[in-house]
Structures are given as structure tokens and as C-alpha cells.
A and B are shown apart, each in its own frame.
Chain A
Amino acid sequence: MSGLGKVFHHEMRKILKEKAILFGFLILPIITLFITVGISLLQPKTEQSKATSYVMYFYGIDMEKTNIGSIDDKQIWIEKVEEAPEQFIHSEKFHNCDVLVDFSDIEHVVIYYHESDSISNYMKMSAESFVRDSFDQVYKTKHAHLLFRTVEVEDITLKDNNNRMIAMLLPYMLILPLTANIANFAGDTVAGDKQRGTFYQVMLSPVPPISLIMGKILSVSLISLFSSGMYIGIDVLGSKICKAMDTKDVFGFADVTVTMNQVLLILLYAVLLCYLFSNLGVLISLFCKDAAQAQTAQLPVTLGCTLASMMSMFRLGTSPSSHYLIPVYNICLIFQDLLNGRAKMENMLMVALSLLIMAVLVMVITLLSYKSEKVRA
């Protein structure tokens, strides 16, 4: 592929000389940092460590507020709650060490707690014991037909981890600017070159079509890959800033862990995704007369990708394997899974494979299109 390096180098230099294009690739990710960190800073932090007492809240049962002892110089209280458990556990009143016992259905008692330290564990075990004793003493004697089942324990921290805010937002935050930026740059590098007449000058040279096309695609891919890296890096930086400033972890930045294999697969996704979008952008731009027309022609792709990433934001829990074959949507699902700590290797490989097949397919179509009369006329 003689000339590939020359075309690639030239295209990269062209990008670096274009300040307007660089804005979208570099400045935009930095702006998102201020947004994410800013939102975290605006949220009031629940000061769990400053709790003056520990409380065992009860919902669905009448009782007076009662002191039942103390631990570590702090009083333990039992108290009735009127607010529904789902709302109450997210309120400021419910501290890290507290527990909430949902007694609304005696056959299905749920205990909510934060698995954060030994105190909350102690409180949870005390609540479980209290529930069993209450059932034996009060309900079993009065209502013999009632079958007491195992107490369900709901770990709020774990529940939060299953749907981190960052897992919902990050795929959308990545896909939208990525597709918009690639549409802009691919449009300029191909259709813009056609408009300016510089595309034909290169077509007239002995450089093989594959070198010319690949040179352009790779330059768009590299800069978009760099942009994606900026977004991910910005999010990591955001988590560090939030941690350092001791703000409330609104986005669920903290404790996101990925294995080395997953990191390598993420890198592969990023490369394939950037390459695929860049190739698609170049393919569409080949058939356009100018950059503006190319950007308009790429709108359906940008909107489709935005829609797919938006749809992933409303996904709760896990998805069937077949969903990991839907282009773009599958990338969002995998990113969510990774950030929520439930990614399966088979799904990750399926996504990588589907991306690879699509990238090769689009590349073949692009090379065939290069010979098209509409492109060359």
C-alpha cells in the first residue's frame, strides 16, 4: 500500500492546522469535565460519618420512637417511617449505618441497608433478629396460617452499583460527540476536498485507491480515537477530582473496576468503533459534492447512533444476548455492563466480532464506491 503513510501524514497535518475541527475533538471533552464535576459539587453530601445516632426504621407497622441501647457511644433508636421505602432510602434522613425494615407485607419482609461498614452489618443483623422475634411472638400466635419466609435483605450500595448514573450517561456522552465530530471531519476531508478540487489532484497520482481511502479513514479514526480517549480520561479525572474534593458520588464514579482483559477489549472497541464510524463517514462523503452536503447526508447516521445510545439509557438490569448484536446499541450495553461490573466475556467478544465484521464490510463497500462514476465525475 504505497503512499498510505504519505496520505495519512498529510491528512493528519491538515487536521492539526484546522483549529475549528480541533475544537470539537479536544475542547468539547474538556467542557464535559466541568459539567460532570460541577454537578457532583452541586449535590449536598450525605455526612454519614457525622451521624449522631443509629436508627432502625420501620415501615408498615405502628410503634413509638424507642431507644434500644447504644454502640460506640451512639444511641440506637427504633422509629416508624411514613414515607415509602423506595423514596426513604434515598433521602438525607437515611444514613449509611441505618436500616429500614419494610413490614408492609408480613410474608415478605425486606431490610434495606448500606453494606459499608461493621456498624451497618451489625444493624442489619439486629434488624433480622428483631423481625424473626416479632414474627414468633406476635404474628405466629395470632395468625397461625401465616408462613414466615426468609427475610429479604436489600443492599442499597449494591443496588446503586447495578445502575450507576455514569453507566447510563457515558455511552451517550461518547457516541453523540463522536458521531457528530466524525461526520464533520469525514465530510471535510473527502467532500470538502472534492469541493476545493484537491481530491482529484490526489486521485491523479499513482497512489492506489486503497492507500488514498485508508489514509483518509485512518487519520479521521486516529483523531476520533484520541477524542474518545479524552472523554474516558476526563471521566477518570472527574472521579479523582470528586474523590479528592469529598463530594457526593452522584455519577457513581467510585469503585469502577475492570480487568486487564476488559481493558484490552475496550481498547479494541474504541479502535473498531472509531474506524467504523470514520469509514462510514468517508463512504457517505465520497458521494457528496461538498462538506455541507456530506454533513447533511450523515445526519441519519448521527441521529440513529444518538437514538441507539439514548435507548440504552433506559435499560435496566441485563439484556438478552441477541441485543449485543444490534450495532451501536451493543457498544452502549457493553460500556454499561463494564461500568456496572456485570460484563460477560462472551457478550464482549460478540460485540467485538460484530464490529469487526461491519468494519470490513463498510471498507469493501468504500473501495468499490471509489471506482464509482458518481465519485470520480
Chain B
Amino acid sequence: MITIEHLKKTFKKNKVEAVKDVSLEIRDGEIFALLGPNGAGKTTTMRMLSTLLEPTAGTILYDGKPLEQESESIRRRIAFLTNEIRLDGQFTPDELADYYGGLYEMDEETIHRNREQLFNYFGISEFRDRRYETFSTGMKQKTSLAICLLHNPDTVIFDEPTNGLDILTQHLIEDCLLRMKAEGKCIILSTHILDLVARLADRVGIIVDGRSVFCGTVPELPESQGVKTVEEAFIKLYKENHEEKAIIGKRGKE
């Protein structure tokens, strides 16, 4: 379980407050969807969760253990996949699996076993001797996913995993998410596709202008806003909490 309390991130260089106050709770065995408009602070939050960035304030607890104190052992338990993260193009999936498995100090037998399972599942076994750079976008994403999951993480963070993929690959990734959920893994999913959230997610967290404005189950989201759909609830929450709108609202009242 991941507990995020009053998380804040201000970039030193440009003094931008990317995350102002985010508090969320993400449980094991669930798909947690992180929603928010572009620039809301979702990616920065996920980068902090994956140990890439250090928070300016607030705490992140993995099973009650603070992230900053246990970052190395936590990195062994998590996987983070975004569209920005790629693999070395000169290598084949087999070579990449050996390398990344080695970095996680996995023994050869475990690497081999996990690799075979994942490669077969994602349908990349027949391309295992081809260089990664020669793959299509979908094949690259599937290979990245297989390599990411090689060390059998119990927390998986996905930033828009189905962006730019064909319907078959999207379906495969969705199936993969459900399988991992069934295995009891904690899955954090950031996406703009609200239909995907409605279909897959158990709980949802919404961030607007760097602040978490909702954290609850998917059915609770429209209920809490007195609307029918997730989309309507998201738009309502955004309008209520967006700072520019809030300022205009205040001026209007004056």
C-alpha cells in the first residue's frame, strides 16, 4: 500500500510549484487511476513515487516505510513505464532482459523463467533476436513493458501506457493490467482516456493545479459530484478547482 501525504514539489530552477498538496492512498490488488488535465502535476507525482524526483515536502510511505529512507529497496519492488522511457535500440529483447535482470540482481534461472513467460505473453518471442530500434511503436511498448515487469514488481506505475497504440496492443495491455491486479499488485495508471478508467480502475484520484481534489472509488466519483458519468464529474471538479477559474469567480462575486 502506498500512502501519500501533503506531497509538494517546487522545481528549484524556475520556482514552479508542480505539485502543491497531494494526498492519496493506493491499495494493493487495485488499479488506481490518476486523473488530471495536462500540467496538473500527475507526471511529477509519479516521478516522485518512482524515486526519480525528491519531494520538496510531504511524505510517501510504501507499506508504512518512508520512501526517502528505503529508496533502494523500494526501487526493487516497483516498475515505472512512461512514453519517455525507452530501451537501448542496439540490443535485442533477449540482451535487454539479461542486462536489466542483472541490474536487479536476479539469477539467470529467474531471468530465463520470467523472460519466457513475459515474451510469450506479449508475443515478442519470435522477434527476440531483432534489435529493439527496428520494432514498431506497439512492439517497442510491449518490449518495454516486458522488461519493466521482468523483476516481478509488486507496484507498477504506468503513465499513459496505451497512447499511440493500435487496438490489439491496447487490449493486450489492458489484459495485462487486469492480470497484475488479480495477482495482488498495486497498479497506478495515469491516463486521459476516461472510458479506460471506467472499465478498469477500482479507485481514482484527481489532481487539479497540483492539488488532489478527489480520492475514492470509481462509482463514488460521479455520485459525489451529483452527476451521472466519470467524465462529467471530472469536468465539474476541474471547473471548481482550477485556480484561474476560481480567481475569476471571486472577482465576479466582488
Q: Is A208 an interface residue (CB 8 A)?
A: yes
- Cβ distance B188 to chain A, nearest Cβ, rounded Å: 14
CB nearest to A373 among chain B residues: B12
Please report which residues of chain A, range 9-49, place their CB below 8 angstroms from some CB of chain B when the two chains form the complex.
10, 13-14, 17-18
- Cβ distance A163 to chain B, nearest Cβ, rounded Å: 47
- A3, A193, A196: which has the most chain B beta carbons within 10 Å? A196
Q: Is B243 an interface residue (CB 8 A)?
A: no
Complex partner residue of B75 from A10, A198, A205, CB under 8 angstroms = A205
Q: B104, A198: Cβ atoms under 8 Å?
A: no
Q: Is B52 an interface residue (CB 8 A)?
A: yes
Cα of A198 to Cα of B88 in the assembled complex, Å: 6
Q: B84, A200: Cβ atoms under 8 Å?
A: yes
Q: B103, A196: Cβ atoms under 8 Å?
A: no
Q: Is A158 an interface residue (CB 8 A)?
A: no
Q: A377, B53: Cβ atoms under 8 Å?
A: yes
Q: Is A299 an interface residue (CB 8 A)?
A: no
Cα of A206 to Cα of B54 in the assembled complex, Å: 16
Which A residues are CB-close (under 8 A) to B63? none
Q: B89, A3: Cβ atoms under 8 Å?
A: no
Q: Is A61 an interface residue (CB 8 A)?
A: no
Q: Is B120 an interface residue (CB 8 A)?
A: no
Contact code string A184-205 (vs B, CB < 8 Å = 1, else 0): 0000000001001110111111
Q: Is B228 an interface residue (CB 8 A)?
A: no
Cα of A7 to Cα of B88 in the assembled complex, Å: 12
Complex partner residue of A205 from B11, B88, B104, CB under 8 angstroms = B104
Please report which residues of chain A, range 276-334, place their CB below 8 angstroms from some CB of chain B when the two chains form the complex.
none
Q: Is B72 an interface residue (CB 8 A)?
A: yes
Cα of A1 to Cα of B46 in the assembled complex, Å: 27
* Residue total for B at the interface (Cβ-Cβ under 8 A): 32
Cα of A18 to Cα of B52 in the assembled complex, Å: 28
Q: Is B219 an interface residue (CB 8 A)?
A: no
- Cβ distance B130 to chain A, nearest Cβ, rounded Å: 14
Cα of A196 to Cα of B72 in the assembled complex, Å: 24
Q: Is A374 an interface residue (CB 8 A)?
A: yes
Q: Is A207 an interface residue (CB 8 A)?
A: yes
Known A206-B105, A373-B12, A374-B13; judge A201-B85 contact (CB<8 A): yes
Which A residues are CB-close (under 8 A) to B53? 373, 376-377
- Cβ distance A337 to chain B, nearest Cβ, rounded Å: 43
Complex partner residue of B72 from A7, A201, A202, A206, CB under 8 angstroms = A206
Q: Is A126 an interface residue (CB 8 A)?
A: no
Q: A377, B103: Cβ atoms under 8 Å?
A: no
CB nearest to B75 among chain A residues: A206
- Cβ distance A191 to chain B, nearest Cβ, rounded Å: 14
CB nearest to A193 among chain B residues: B88
Known A196-B89, A373-B13, A376-B53; judge A201-B100 contact (CB<8 A): yes
Q: A197, B85: Cβ atoms under 8 Å?
A: yes
CB nearest to A212 among chain B residues: B103
Which B residues are CB-close (under 8 A) to A371? 54
Q: B13, A6: Cβ atoms under 8 Å?
A: no
Spell out A's residues near B (CB within 8 Å).
2-3, 6-7, 10, 13-14, 17-18, 193, 196-198, 200-208, 371, 373-374, 376-377
Spell out B's residues near A (CB within 8 Å).
11-13, 47, 50-54, 72-73, 75-76, 78-80, 84-91, 95, 99-100, 102-105, 147
18 pairs, CB–CB < 8 Å, chain A vs chain B: A3-B103, A3-B105, A6-B99, A6-B102, A6-B103, A13-B95, A17-B91, A193-B88, A201-B100, A204-B75, A206-B73, A206-B76, A206-B103, A206-B105, A373-B12, A374-B13, A376-B52, A377-B47
